[in-house]
Structure 1
Amino acid sequence: MRIYKHIITILVLANMFLMFACTNDMDISQPVEPGLEDKVSISLFTRAQDYSIPVTRGGANETGIEKTPYVLVFKVDGTSTKCIETVRAVEDLTTDKRYVLLTRQATGTYRFLILANNGTHFYFEDQRYEWSESNLETYLVGKELSYISENLLTDKLDSPQQNTVPYTSSGWDHLLPMSYLTDPVSGINDNTKIGEVGSPLQMVRGVAKLVFINEPELYLDSSTSSQMRYNKFVMGGVVSIMNTPRQGKVYNMDDNPLTTIGLTEVAKNDYSDMLLSMQDVNESWAPPYMQASWGDPCYVHETAADGGLFFIIKGDLTADFGTGTEETRTFYYKMAPVDNNFAQIGIERNHSYEFRIINVRGPGHSTVAEAMAAPPSNKLLLDYEVTSVDLSSHHVIANGHYYLGVSNSRYITYTDEPGTWQQAFSIVTDYFSQSGAWSPIRNEILSTQGITCDVSAISSSADASHPQVVNVKFDNSISTGWVEVWLGDLTLTVRVDRSGVVPVGGERLIYYKYYKDPGAGNEWWEYEHYLINGNVDSGASSWIKLAPGSETIPSAAVGYTSGGGAYFSPDPAVLTNVTDVVTSGIGKIQVYITDNSIAAGGTGQVRNGTFYLSTGYHPSYAPQNWTDRIKIDIKQAGS
């Protein structure tokens, strides 16, 4: 059994990802009624449109949003981020515009938390209330953002069994819950916006999507030259999801799932009906015998790794069961989401999980009850792969017919082998999955002189579940270049940079730019990007460390490279306070590459690692809400 976690970070346009879509920008302000002079009218978004990101073959409306979401206003004061106002958006039916009336604030720093598609009721401090402005004001105003994150919860599923499938069954609104916390803004006035064309909101789904695929392992029959299955298993679908949380956080500030909430089972009609059903995949690109539940997914709340989540699947196995002839029997199998070591994995919000069964080695259980009482079949009877797709990643643009996205808009590699292939970024699109005839369009991947890409066009199989990786290599004389991705009238550009290998003794990387005014004789350093947060891949988290940057640049700056780094010796005092995940409130992040010598506790061997930085506009440029992603590959020398 193999597990792959593709962090395809899709920094998505609001109008695409279940997000706020801005098809045309609204006037900065709406008329304010007499007596409301202390209020300011702020445009939220215009008409929401449905874009398939990722490809929505069925299930809930993953790209829809209610017309009047709630906006919570928080005042930032030092370490405090406290709710001061709760408002529901208003729809102007004459213009199809949406806006909110917020109290004017001449000074101070503020953030907006947008909450949408949350149904009719919520829980706060273990009590159930109707969603309304008055209830939110009564219970949330004066509370810290962190407290609201932990205590504002969705409505509960039934217990001990939920008999309708959440978000896809009759009686549900088919819209997935979502939230978004904006970057800080200075004051609240006529120039304030919450989402606009070119810098839309990037909403995050509050649930995870589960899809199952049956793709049996094949072999070539030499006598017939045909592809044959090692086993003849036809999956009907999933009849039960056990130990799924009854509710989740409306907004999750720290990405930690609830661990004290009750669990339930989702099933239909005493297991006689499928929760999600499999369909044959009769596409030219699909291998023989492939099945998938793309048209019938399930959605669940995030759950911790030790939550005990498992699934009961049903299918028909054709084999010789000791009678001397083949026959077909129906069996149930218990599946748990586990890693390579058969340890349970957690389920994260805004992720799509594909459970791909590749081999069924033998008969399962005759009844659902037997399967539930037994250990998971993963170890003995089932081989499968897990693909986890983060649905909040790639920078995406769209034209109303299809979208195009790249995982990061900048790539930096620290290496002494410029002529080797480097995995720079990945591409997603739904263009090739669109139904109907399309005229030929431009499909090119171009690069500037000295930069070579391993592909020249976007693959027809590139989608959100199968991103196309683009590798680049540099000529020895080139340290900076660009890669352009064209699909019809959509184009995205990725900047690629190369710096030297990090020395064995380690370095502190601070992403500054060097400026000099020859006329005045002045010179200074400034951060090249306004950095919001960063994270290190798990394989390198022990030696690549992140910390918030300082307001001033140390006088020990010794140089600037084309890769964007000003280098300093590691500071042991600071290294005690660093981590592999960091959020910066001042737009500055420092990266520490620790000493790799054996004497300092390093490996003494060459090592490679990857980390990511998210960038955005400085709050002084508000109200522009925009983020992007930088991927950095590090090669550190050994001793």
Structure 2
Amino acid sequence: MMKYIMKIFGLVIILLISACEHETLLTGEPDDPGDISEDKVRLEIFARANSYRLPSTRALGDENTVEMTPWVLVFRGSGTGAIFVEAVQAFEFAGKRYVLLTKRTDGSKYQLLILANPMAQFYYGNASTGYVFNESQLTEKLIEGTTTLATACTNLLTEPASTSPARIPFSGVGETIPMSYLLEVDKVDNTTKIEKSDGSSLMLLRAVAKIVVVNEASNFELEGVSAVANVPRQGQLHNLIPASIMGNAGNLTNYQYDASCSLPLVSAETITNKQSTENSPIYIYETNTQTYSTYLIIQGIYETKSYYYKMAIVDKDLNYMNIYRNHAYTFTIKKVHGRGYDTVADAKLSKPSNTDLDFEITVDDSNSYEIIANNDYYLGVSNSVFIAYSPDDASTYEAFKVITDCEKAFPDARTITDNMAEADNSFALSSPADGKLPIVASTSPRVTPVSVLIQSWLMYSEVGQSFEGRDKVNAYITLKLGNLEKQVHIRRRAAIDAGGTILKYMPANSYPFPTTGEVDYHCLTGEVEDGTDNPKEWIKLLPSSMVDRNDTDKIIVEDGHIYIKIMPNTASTTRNGIVYLTTIMPGSLYTGESTVKRIKIDITQKGN
């Protein structure tokens, strides 16, 4: 009997050993992370959601969730023309994210496109055909050695919302929002870090924006939002050029409970003595609200009776606003001046009721800031380069804005400083005068303008120049907050003559001397800011072809060249305008620190 028992026991042991040898994780990776073939490397992914940074009374957990198995698409090369080579899904091991990538050490740059919280299907270039989100389907659409990064980002789309959604997409319990990040690395081997350059987690960007309605009017009671009309059904999994918006003509829908809006889409709650939809936000894909006539139907009580109001998404000057991914838009009603409509149907047919309300829209544009963060707080700047085309006399400029949600008053590491001495006293920090970086006192986040005094000889204080055998250094403002540090490059060029000129911002093989009119940046987008001197009338943004494309105040280019044409000034007085460029810094598509860099250009033109 004992002999039979021993045989059975031995058979069980063999079966258990065999089972252990073949056990795999759900993702198909070996249970032993050390069991990796020589041509593969195991990399840990450090990532978290980039906050919708407007303060909230309650954390909406699912909008911040990053699941453990994102996809990593690998592209070989620099720039938007980098070529697809591999698609791999990460796996979870011991509570951490890992991905097995093919080792690549051929001297080329590589772009890692991280797609987190994948939906069951992805769509490629349309809203009609879905593909299972797996390696075989991805590599069927993304051709190894052929498909470029630009092509992939343009065509990889989310699952479309239904044609008549009865609720807000991504609002269900456990529903996560698709997120993305693009990281450039020098190679793929065991030393590669899938994290930011400061060692902190990548801050993933959501594919959707968030809208919240708040009522502060004493003569009105907000009941909720009944409908959101003309919103896109889908969006890109990753937007390679943040200033651009995917076209969705013919692919729009309405969010509403049913055809007659018999119940509110979202109901308002009283939060800190205000009615608000903050606990039930509206998520929508990026959209051009003017082109598609996107609007909300809100319901509220005015003079004891419930009415419906049609609200366009406009700024305080009633100009339509584009909706961008990972931005939060808070629509705050200040006062109501009149009655709305008795039914939703009547409200939909009416003109927008914005003029019947005193309102303001607060936009979390933190995504347009260049952000670094740790697990406690963040620090960002509106632009990391400031260039003043200034008169010869000393002038003071607002160079950039700094944003933070930090509440800790570090005694030492809370500074804004300049390197004035090293830069030949060619500039100096002007404000904040005490050199202290302001932190949150009441409103979060806190935004603070930073001003600098610029001297005429700053244009000759740049890396690439020398004097009497001494190499010059760049002028920087350095911000330090705890263990976070950020620098802003301060530059100067001469004021523009009355006759006008063309400034060429484009990649250069060597340092362009300050008097040439060329500046070495690989540009993506440009925009002329509104101003008192009507700069959009005399500052024109052109592509390298110099063809006026009827988008001279806001432009997107593919070859890195943006030409800034300054028209002749026939007046006797000087005039001023500001241009913002988004740019890839020289020699690199993207860094782990930020998706893109921003340049603020303050242009003064002399009078005639």
TM-score (norm 2): 0.73
Quote the residue 1:430 is aligned against.
405
Q: Give the CA RMSD over aligned residues.
A: 4.3
Quote the residue 2:136 is aligned against.
134
Deviation at 1:453, TM superposition (A): 0.7
CA distance in 2: counterparts of 1:47 and 1:597, whole angstroms: 50
Deviation at 1:377, TM superposition (A): 1.4
Deviation at 1:311, TM superposition (A): 0.9
Deviation at 1:88, TM superposition (A): 0.8
Quote the residue 1:356 is aligned against.
332
The answer to whether the 8 Å contact 1:532/1:583 transfers is yes
The answer to whether the 8 Å contact 1:334/1:372 transfers is yes
Quote the residue 2:12 is aligned against.
none
CA distance in 2: counterparts of 1:494 and 1:624, whole angstroms: 14
CA distance in 2: counterparts of 1:119 and 1:63, whole angstroms: 16
Any idea what the Cα deviations from partners look like across 1:141-163, whole Å, max 9, x if unmatched?
35454444444321232332x22
Quote the residue 1:502 is aligned against.
496
Deviation at 1:117, TM superposition (A): 1.5
Quote the residue 2:575 is aligned against.
606
Residue 400 in structure 1 maps to residue 382 in structure 2? no
Any idea what the Cα deviations from partners look like across 1:38-65, whole Å, max 9, x if unmatched?
x332525237488674545443544432
CA distance in 2: counterparts of 1:127 and 1:102, whole angstroms: 30
CA distance in 2: counterparts of 1:259 and 1:365, whole angstroms: 30
Deviation at 1:100, TM superposition (A): 3.0
The answer to whether the 8 Å contact 1:120/1:131 transfers is yes
The one-letter code of the counterpart of 2:361 is V
Any idea what the Cα deviations from partners look like across 1:402-443, whole Å, max 9, x if unmatched?
2222222332222228665522211222234xxxxx777565
CA distance in 2: counterparts of 1:133 and 1:295, whole angstroms: 37
Deviation at 1:111, TM superposition (A): 3.0
CA distance in 2: counterparts of 1:79 and 1:71, whole angstroms: 17
Deviation at 1:207, TM superposition (A): 0.7
Quote the residue 2:239 is aligned against.
252
CA distance in 2: counterparts of 1:191 and 1:101, whole angstroms: 12
Quote the residue 2:568 is aligned against.
596
Residue 152 in structure 1 maps to residue 156 in structure 2? yes
CA distance in 2: counterparts of 1:302 and 1:52, whole angstroms: 15
CA distance in 1: counterparts of 2:349 and 2:178, whole angstroms: 33
CA distance in 1: counterparts of 2:154 and 2:47, whole angstroms: 32
Quote the residue 2:41 is aligned against.
41
Deviation at 1:622, TM superposition (A): 8.6
Distance 1:32 1:595, change over 3 A: farther
CA distance in 2: counterparts of 1:88 and 1:465, whole angstroms: 35
Deviation at 1:501, TM superposition (A): 1.5
Residue 315 in structure 1 maps to residue 300 in structure 2? yes
CA distance in 1: counterparts of 2:81 and 2:455, whole angstroms: 50
Q: What are the within-5 Å matches in structure 2 for residues 187-586 of structure 1?
A: 188-189=188-189, 192-198=192-198, 201=202, 203-216=204-217, 232-253=219-240, 255-268=244-257, 270-273=261-264, 275=266, 277-281=268-272, 292-304=276-288, 305-318=290-303, 328-338=304-314, 342=318, 344-379=320-355, 381-416=356-391, 421-432=396-407, 445-446=416-417, 450-454=428-432, 456=434, 457=436, 458=438, 460=440, 467-474=447-454, 482-504=476-498, 505-508=500-503, 531=522, 533-539=524-530, 540=535, 543-545=539-541, 581=555
CA distance in 2: counterparts of 1:190 and 1:335, whole angstroms: 53
- The gaps in structure 1 that reach 5 residues or longer are 1-29, 217-228, 283-289, 319-327, 433-437, 516-524, 549-572
CA distance in 2: counterparts of 1:204 and 1:240, whole angstroms: 26
Deviation at 1:362, TM superposition (A): 1.0
CA distance in 2: counterparts of 1:368 and 1:592, whole angstroms: 47
Deviation at 1:628, TM superposition (A): 3.7
Deviation at 1:248, TM superposition (A): 1.9
CA distance in 1: counterparts of 2:247 and 2:172, whole angstroms: 25
CA distance in 2: counterparts of 1:347 and 1:603, whole angstroms: 40
Residue 74 in structure 1 maps to residue 65 in structure 2? no
TM-score (norm 1): 0.69
CA distance in 2: counterparts of 1:529 and 1:40, whole angstroms: 38
CA distance in 2: counterparts of 1:138 and 1:610, whole angstroms: 42
The answer to whether the 8 Å contact 1:247/1:261 transfers is no
Distance 1:415 1:62, change over 3 A: farther
Deviation at 1:201, TM superposition (A): 4.4
Deviation at 1:205, TM superposition (A): 2.1
Distance 1:462 1:537, change over 3 A: farther
Residue 169 in structure 1 maps to residue 172 in structure 2? yes
CA distance in 2: counterparts of 1:31 and 1:146, whole angstroms: 33
Any idea what the Cα deviations from partners look like across 1:72-117, whole Å, max 9, x if unmatched?
23345999555333211233327x2422323647476643322112
CA distance in 2: counterparts of 1:478 and 1:621, whole angstroms: 28
Deviation at 1:178, TM superposition (A): 1.8
Deviation at 1:210, TM superposition (A): 0.8
Distance 1:400 1:52, change over 3 A: farther
Quote the residue 2:118 is aligned against.
118
**Equivalent residues, number:** 529
The one-letter code of the counterpart of 1:181 is L
Deviation at 1:397, TM superposition (A): 3.0
Higher helix share: 2
Residue identity over aligned pairs, in percent, reads: 27
Distance 1:412 1:92, change over 3 A: same
Secondary structure at 1:411 match in 2: strand
The answer to whether the 8 Å contact 1:429/1:463 transfers is no
The answer to whether the 8 Å contact 1:453/1:473 transfers is no
Distance 1:387 1:421, change over 3 A: farther
The one-letter code of the counterpart of 1:429 is T
Which one has more relative contact order, counting CA pairs under 8 Å at least 6 apart?
A: 1
Quote the residue 1:630 is aligned against.
599
CA distance in 1: counterparts of 2:376 and 2:455, whole angstroms: 38
Deviation at 1:233, TM superposition (A): 1.4
The answer to whether the 8 Å contact 1:105/1:187 transfers is yes
